[in-house]
Amino acid sequence: TKCSDDGNFSKGELIPYGDIKLSPSAGVLNYGQGLFEGLKAYRTKNDSILLFRPEENAARMIMGAERMCMPALTVEEFVEAVKLTVLANKRWIPPPGKGSLYIRPLLMGSGAVLGLAPAPEYTFIIYVSPVGNYFKEGLAPINLLVENDYHRATPGGTGGIKTIGNYASVLKAQSAAKAKGYSDVLYLDSVHKRYLEEVSSCNVFIVKGKTISTPEIKGTILPGITRKSIIDVARKQGFQVEERHVSVDELLDADEVFCTGTAVVVSPVGSITYLGKR
Ligand code: PMP
């Protein structure tokens, strides 16, 4: 069942980066009715601009919008808006090898709503920023803390989509881990408290021999676009790739561990700390 209209977004415009005006009772501010995406544009040696599979981000936003009772742009509208924004900001795209332009599309319930309900109006924004490496380690191995007290998502919740509330729920665990010197937090499932879910902003893989395993997509982790590409590439290179329940014991026993995401690209994991029961 659908709980929102298909959407009829008026034509957008390019405006300088700055504050936006919102009603204090906007759905996004009161009930977290917001979704975002994250993409990157890269500059090549011959000065052309590359986007990585933007249609996949569009499809993920459409899926998320359905779950959040929001109308969404079509794939074509989304990709067109991303391209226009990137071209208008071409001068901010770093030279090859020096970083990329991070692209943040944001869809929100901007209409005023007092009682709990989907907002009556929606706003779609894209903003961009040049970025370098996500982790301070750069592409050197990171150190992860396996989180015991907090969960990112729960079955039936919104862990499978890129809604803003998922990130609010991890701020505390992530800040505490960073204060102790960890690069990031790896979450376990909320039912058995034993199976890997994902890291705050990336998917996780373990390697054992010639087999690569990663948590399956079951509604509680984000279906990462980098994750999907890495699975394809690994299979083409002759690795066996399994999408399944991966336990914390297997994580600690793995030959190699790495994380994937638009921001983190492919980040190797150098150490893992797990303070829970084995
Ligand atoms: N999981 C979470 C929670 C994320 O925020 C991200 C980043 N979008 C990912 C996984 C990786 O997804 P992608 O490869 O599409 O960037």
Ligand 1 in contact with 198 (CB < 6 A)? yes
Q: Is the reported ipTM for this assembly greater than 0.90?
A: yes
Quick one: which atom of ligand 1 is closest to the CA of 262? 16
Ligand 1 atom having least distance to the Cα of 162 = 5
Q: How many CB atoms lie within 10 A of CB 127?
A: 14
CB 93 within 8 A of CB 43: yes
* CA 277 vs CA 41, 154, 194, 229, 249: distances in Å: 43, 21, 9, 34, 10
Rounded distance between C-alpha atoms, residue 210 and residue 96, angstroms: 32
* Centroid of ligand 1 to alpha carbon of 47 (angstroms): 27
- Please tell me the residue having the least CA distance from ligand 1 atom 5: 201
What are the 10-residue block averages of pLDDT along the chain, 278 residues in total? 79 94 98 98 96 98 97 96 98 96 98 96 97 93 96 95 96 96 97 97 97 97 98 97 98 98 97 92
Amino acid 8: pLDDT = 82
Going from the Cα of 278 to the center of ligand 1, the distance in angstroms, rounded, reads 28
User: Residue 223 C-alpha to ligand 1 middle, in angstroms?
Assistant: 7
- Spatial CA neighbour of 221 closest among 199, 250, 192, 249: 199
Q: Which of 40, 150, 222 maximizes ligand 1 atoms within 8 Å of its Cβ, making it the mutation to test the pocket?
A: 222
Q: Is 163 near ligand 1, meaning CB less than 6 Å away? A: no
What distance in Å separates the CA atoms of residue 147 and residue 119, rounded to the nearest whole number? 34
**Active-site positions?**
162
Q: How many CA atoms lie within 13 A of 67 on its CB side?
A: 20
- From the CA of 226, give the closest atom in ligand 1: 14
Residue closest to 225 by CA, chosen among 35, 57, 51, 42:
57
How far, in Å, is the centroid of ligand 1 from the Cα of 30?
A: 25
Instruction: Tell me how far the alpha carbon of residue 225 lies from the centroid of ligand 1, in angstroms.
Output: 7
Sorted by where each starts, the structural domains of the chain and their CATH numbers stand as 27-131 (3.30.470.10), 142-274 (3.20.10.10)
Does the beta carbon of 224 lie inside 6 Å of ligand 1? yes
Supply the pLDDT for residue 278: 79
Q: DSSP strand E in the chain: where?
A: 34-36, 39-43, 49-51, 100-109, 122-131, 142-146, 184-188, 196-199, 203-208, 211-215, 240-244, 256-261, 265-274
- Cα separation, 223 vs 159, whole angstroms: 10
Supply the DSSP string of 119-180, one letter for each residue.
-S-EEEEEEEEEE--SSTTTTSPEEEEE-SS--S--TTSSTTS-BHHHHHTTHHHHHHHHHT
> What is the distance of C-alpha 243 from the center of its chain?
18
Looking at the CA of residue 263, tell me the nearest atom of ligand 1: 16
Query: Which ranges constitute the DSSP H helices of 200-247?
Result: 225-236
261 lines ligand 1 (CB under 6 A): yes
User: CB 5: neighbour CB atoms within 10 A?
Assistant: 10
State the residue for tokens 């332009």.
101
Q: Is 225 in the pocket of ligand 1 (CB under 6 A)?
A: yes
CA 183/CA 197 separation, integer angstroms: 17
- Report the b/e string of 60-96 with b at 16+ CB within 10 A: bbbbbbbebbbbbbebebbbebbeebbeebeeebeee
Tell me what pLDDT residue 1 has: 61
Q: What is the DSSP letter of 271?
A: E
- Compute how many other C-beta atoms are within 10 angstroms of the C-beta atom of residue 44: 10
pTM of the model: 0.96
